[in-house]
Chains A and B, each alone.
Chain A
C-alpha cells in the first residue's frame, strides 16, 4: 500500500506556505492573522502526519522521486520522499511538538515587535525539519540540515539588539558548519564509492562494498571506506546534535526566545544527528569503529554535560545541558546498535524536554524575564498548572516509572550493559549509569529551587507573579500527557523495544545485525514484568538523585554552599562548563585571527605588494627610469615591462620550486 503523494507533499508544504505568507506580508498583517495562518498550517500538518502515521502502522509506505535537483554526467540528485516507520514517527513528533510551540508562542511572544517574523521563522523551520526527515537521499537530508541550521541561527539571534544573542547565533552557525564540513565529505565519499546518493541504492550496495574491502590511506592509517564515510557523516551529526567537542553552541543558543529552545534546541533539530545515525544504520552497522566512536562520544557527552548541569544557575542552561546529556544517551543507544531505542528516547525526550522548556518559559515570563533560579522559589503557590506540568516533566526526565523517560532511558542502559564492544561499551555503561543519578539530581535541584525552597523573588517581579494564560498552559498540558504516556505507549502499543526486527515497530526501516542486536540478548535474559524495574540500578539511582536533591534543596539548607566551599576548584570548573569556551578561544579563534592578520599584513601587503611589487618591481623601474629619463619614454610601459618580467620570474620560481 502506498501513501497518497498529495497528502505527503502537503505536510511540508503547509508550514512553508504559512511561513512565506507571514514572512513576506508580515509587515501588513496583524498579530492575530499571523499566528492564525501559521498555527493552521502547522496544526493541519500535524493532523496529516498523524493520519500518515496511522496508515504506516497498517503497513503503508512511500518511496519515490518528485523532482530532479542536479544532473551532471552520472551525478544525479533527485528530490524524493521515503516514508517508512522511522520517518513517520519523526514526522509525528516534529509536527506535534511544533504545533504545541506555535500555540504557546501566541501567548509568549505577544506584543513583541517581531511577532510575525517569529511565526514565519518557526513555520519555515518546521518545513525544513520535515524535509530533513522525509527525504530519500543524502542531499535532501543535507538541504534540511542546513535549512534548520539557518532558522536556528535566525531564531537564536531573534532579539538582534542583544550582543550576546548575536554572538550565540553566529557561534551556533559556525560550530554547526564544522560538523557540516564532515557531513559534506561524507556525502562526497558516498557518491564516490556508491555512484548514487539515494538511501535505498546506497544501503543495498553497502555489503558489496564492505566485501570488496576498499580502504584509503588517512594520514598513515588504513581506513576502510565504510568507516571513513560513517565517521565523516557522524561528525556532521556531532555538530547538529551538540556532541563533545562540538557541543559548545547549544547552551549559548538559550539566548533565543524560549519557544525555540523547546522546539529547535531540545525536541527536534538537535535530534537530527540521532535520526541521521538511525537512518543510516545499514551503513553504521558495518563499521565497528564508527559504532564505537558513536558510543564513546555519546557517553562522554552524556556524562560531562550532566556534571555541568549539576551547578548551573540559569534555569534554561540547566535544561540545555540536560539536553546535551540526553542526546548523548541517544547516541550511546545508536552506538550499541539499539537504534530503535535511541529513536524511542528521541521521541519521549521530545515531549518531556519541550514540556520542561515551555514550563521554564512560563516561569521566566511570570518573574519578569528572570532566568536565575537563585532568584526564584516558592513559585508553586502562584502558578499551579506550570508547577504540576513541570513536575511531570522533571519526573519523566529523571527516569521514574511509569513516565516516558524511564522506559526509554532504562532500555538504553540495559542495552549498553549487554552489548559487548570491548572498552567502549564498558565506558559507556558506567557513564550512562552514573548519568542517571546526576540527571535526577540536577533536574530536581532546578525544580525545588524554582518551586519550593525559600521565596527569593524580588519585590518588583512579585507584584506581577501570576499563572500564565491558557495559550501557554494548554500546550503544557498536552505535552504533559505525552510525557506521561509516550513511553508506555511506545513499548506496549508500538513494540519499539521488541527484539526481533520483524516484530519491532521499525521493522525494515532500521537495520541491525543479529550479532550486534542487544535487544535479542535482553530478551533472552527475560523478566520484563511490570515490576522488574525495582530490581534495576537505574531506578534506585534516579530515586537516590531525587532524594539527594530533596535533602539539599527542598528547604533552604547550607549544604550546597558548604560543598562548593569544600571543593572550590571543582565547583568553578563545572560552573565554567569545563572551560571549553576559553580553550576554543585560545586554540582556535585567536590563532585563526592572528593567522588571517599575518597573511594579510605580512603576506599580501608586506610581501606581495610591498617587497615584490613596490620594492622590487616598481623600485627597479623607477631607478631604471631615472637613468632612462633622457630617453623620454612614458612610465606606463616601463611599469608594464618590469612587471612582466617580475611576475614571470616569480612564476618560474614557483614552478621550479614545486
Chain B
C-alpha cells in the first residue's frame, strides 16, 4: 500500500460511516423519551450530513485516483483490510445517502406511532451500512456492508410495514440474499485467482482470462440485477415498496436501488471488461424490457406506491443501458440518472406518504380532486411528476438525454445491431413515462371533490413542506446546472471507460503463454 491520498489528513469516511452507528448506540442507551429520540436522531443525521460535505467541497476533480483514503489491516491472515476511499463515481452517492437519511428522519416524525426509537436506530444503522458500501475498497468489507444493510431494511419493512409486510420482507430478503451468496462465491473465486487479494483496486488491475470473467460476471449479474432490479428478477420491489413505511421506500428507491448499478460500475466493468462487452446484448435487452415492458405495467397499476415502484424499475432501465454503452455520455448519464432518481423517486414516495398519512390508503381510486384541498401539495407533486417524465429543467432530463446521446453514439463490439435502434427504443420512454405519470396525477390530484374522505385532507404542514424543499432545489439545480456534478465524475468515468474497453483477456493469454504482456497500463 503506497501513500494514502487523503487531502484532509483525517479519516472522514470512517467518521461518516460510524457516526450514525455511534449515534444509534447512544440513542439506544441514553435516550428514552420519544420526542428526545426524534431530535437526537435528527441531530445525528444532520451531523453525518455535515461530515460528508467535505467529500463535495474538498474533492479533487482532476484525478481518477481514490481520495480520502484510509487503510488498516483487518484480518491479516487472509489479507482482508479495512480500506476506504472514494472517486467521482462513489462520492456523490455518499452525499445522497446522508442527505436522504436526514429527510427520512424528518418524514418519520409523526407518522411512525410505534417503536419510534427502534425505527430511528434502524435508519441510522442503515445509513452506516449504505455509506460503508460506497466507501469500501476491500471486497470483503464491501460484502460485509452489503449484507449488513439487509438487517435494518428487513426490520424496517417487517416491523413498520403494511398489511402484507411478512410476505414482502421474506421475498425481499430471499431475493437479495440469493444474489449475495453468488457474489460472495465470485469474490472468493477472484481472491484465489488473483493471488490472495480482496482489494478492489488490485482486482481491477488483475488480468482475468475470459473464461473466468464469464462466470464471475454471471454471478455478479445476478447479485446486482436483483438489487437494480432488472427484469425478470424485479418482482420483489413492488411488494417491498408497497409494504414499506414511507421512509423505507425513500431509502429503498433512493439508495438501495443504486447499489446494483454501482456494483456494475465498480466491479463488472473495470474488473471484467471482456465479459462486460460480451454480455452487452443481454444487458441491452433487459434494459429495454425494463423501459418498455415495465412502463406499460406501471401504467395499469391501481396502487400508488406500486406504480412508482414500477416507474423506478423503468428508470433504472436507463441506468443499466447507459452503463453498458461504454461511452462517456452514457455512463455519466447513467450516474446522473441514479442521483436524480434518488431525488425524484424519493420525493414521489414522500408525496404518497403525505397522502397516506391522511387517508391511510394507497389506492388511486380512493383519491381524486386532492388539489382542491391541498393546493401546495398538488404543486409540489406536479413538479416531481414532471421530473419523473424527464422534462428539461429537471435533473432527470440531463440523465436521460445523456444516456440517449451516449447510446446513439456508442459502438459496442458484440451488439449485432446499430445502437441507434436501441436509443430509439429507449426514447419511447418519453411517451410512456408521460402516460403513466400524468394519468396517475390526473386521477389522484385533479378533478372535482366528490369523496368525503378527500374533503377532510388538510394541506401540507410546514414540517412536511420542509423536507421537500431540498429535493426541489436539488432537482432544479441539477437540471439547470449539472456541471459541478458532472465535473466530479468526468475523470473517474473516463478512467472507468478506459478500463472497461481494454481487454484483459489478451493480457491473460499472453501471460499464460509466457509472453510479455502488451496493452496493459
Contacts and interface: CB of A to CB of B under 8 A. Distances in A.
Contact of A170 (B181, B406, B438): B438
A70 B480 contact: no
A95 B420 CA distance: 39
A550 interface: no
A330 B481 CA distance: 37
A181 B232 contact: no
B391 A643 contact: no
A650 B285 CA distance: 15
A71 B371 contact: no
A48 B168 CA distance: 61
Interface in A131-150: 139, 142-143, 146-147, 150
A595 interface: yes
A605 B490 CA distance: 41
Interface string B163-176: 00000001001110
A216 B420 contact: yes
Nearest to B285: A658
A21 to B, nearest CB: 15
Given A166-B442, A173-B434, A188-B423, A604 B409 contact: no
Interface residues of A, number: 62
Contacts of B300: 593, 596-597, 600
A151 B170 CA distance: 45
Interface in B296-330: 296-301, 327-329
A191 B181 CA distance: 44
A161 interface: yes
Contacts of A644: 178, 181-182
A599 B293 contact: yes
B178 A640 contact: yes
Interface in B401-442: 401-402, 404-406, 408-409, 418, 420, 423-424, 427-428, 430-431, 434-435, 438-439, 442
Contact of B392 (A142, A162, A192, A216): A142
A177 to B, nearest CB: 4
B427 A185 contact: yes
A205 to B, nearest CB: 16
Given A72-B486, A596-B296, A644-B181, A188 B404 contact: yes
B297 A603 contact: yes
A163 to B, nearest CB: 6
A157 interface: yes
B482 interface: yes
B297 A185 contact: no
A603 B293 contact: yes
A188 B174 CA distance: 41
A477 to B, nearest CB: 36
A162 to B, nearest CB: 8
Interface string B432-456: 0011001100100111110000000
Interface string A574-612: 000000000000000000110111011001110011001
B517 interface: no
Contacts of B175: 643
A177 B432 CA distance: 9
Contacts, number: 167
A658 to B, nearest CB: 6
A558 interface: no
A557 B282 CA distance: 70
Contacts of B480: 69
A23 to B, nearest CB: 9
Given A177-B431, A651-B218, A73 B328 contact: yes
Contacts of B26: none
A216 B418 contact: yes
Q: What bracket does the count of chain B residues touching chain A fall in?
A: 35 or more
B329 to A, nearest CB: 5
B483 interface: yes
Contacts of B434: 173-174, 177
Contact of B281 (A185, A216, A658): A658
Contacts of A599: 293, 296-297
B393 interface: yes
A608 B404 CA distance: 29
B394 to A, nearest CB: 10
Contacts of A658: 281-282, 285
A527 interface: no
A181 B222 CA distance: 33
B81 to A, nearest CB: 29
Contacts of A647: 178-179, 222, 226, 233
Contacts of A142: 392
A75 B407 CA distance: 13
B182 A191 contact: no
Interface in A366-424: none
A184 B404 contact: yes
Contact of B430 (A72, A180, A593): A180
B362 to A, nearest CB: 16
Contact of A143 (B393, B449, B483): B393
A589 to B, nearest CB: 9
A68 B483 contact: yes
A493 interface: no
B235 A613 contact: yes
Given A72-B328, A170-B442, A650-B232, A188 B408 contact: yes
Contact of B369 (A73, A161, A655): A161
Contacts of A71: 483, 486
Contacts of A153: 438
A640 B483 contact: no
Nearest to A75: B329
B372 interface: yes
B506 interface: no
Given A157-B446, A166-B442, A603-B293, A185 B235 contact: no
Interface string A70-90: 111101000000000000000
Contacts of A1: none
A72 B332 contact: yes
Contacts of A612: 232
Contacts of B333: 72
Given A157-B446, A163-B447, A644-B182, A181 B427 contact: yes
B221 interface: yes
Interface string B200-226: 000000000000000000100110001
B386 interface: yes
Contact of A178 (B296, B389, B431): B431
Contacts of B401: 184
B177 interface: yes
Nearest to B376: A27
Interface string A419-460: 000000000000000000000000000000000000000000
Contact of B174 (A139, A163, A216, A636): A636
Contacts of A188: 404-405, 408, 420, 423, 427
A143 B480 CA distance: 11
B438 A173 contact: yes
9 contacts: A72-B329, A75-B329, A160-B446, A180-B431, A185-B424, A188-B408, A596-B298, A640-B174, A655-B218
Given A161-B447, A608-B235, 20 more contacts: A70-B482, A139-B392, A143-B393, A146-B393, A150-B391, A166-B447, A170-B439, A177-B434, A181-B427, A184-B404, A184-B430, A188-B405, A189-B408, A603-B293, A604-B235, A636-B177, A643-B178, A647-B233, A648-B182, A658-B282
Interface of B: 170, 173-175, 177-179, 181-182, 218, 221-222, 226, 232-233, 235, 281-282, 285, 293, 296-301, 327-329, 332-333, 369, 371-372, 386, 389, 391-393, 398, 401-402, 404-406, 408-409, 418, 420, 423-424, 427-428, 430-431, 434-435, 438-439, 442, 445-449, 480-483, 486, 490, 494
Interface of A: 68-73, 75, 139, 142-143, 146-147, 150, 153, 157, 160-163, 166-167, 169-170, 173-174, 177-178, 180-181, 184-185, 188-189, 191-192, 216, 592-593, 595-597, 599-600, 603-605, 608-609, 612-613, 636, 639-640, 643-644, 647-648, 650-651, 654-655, 658
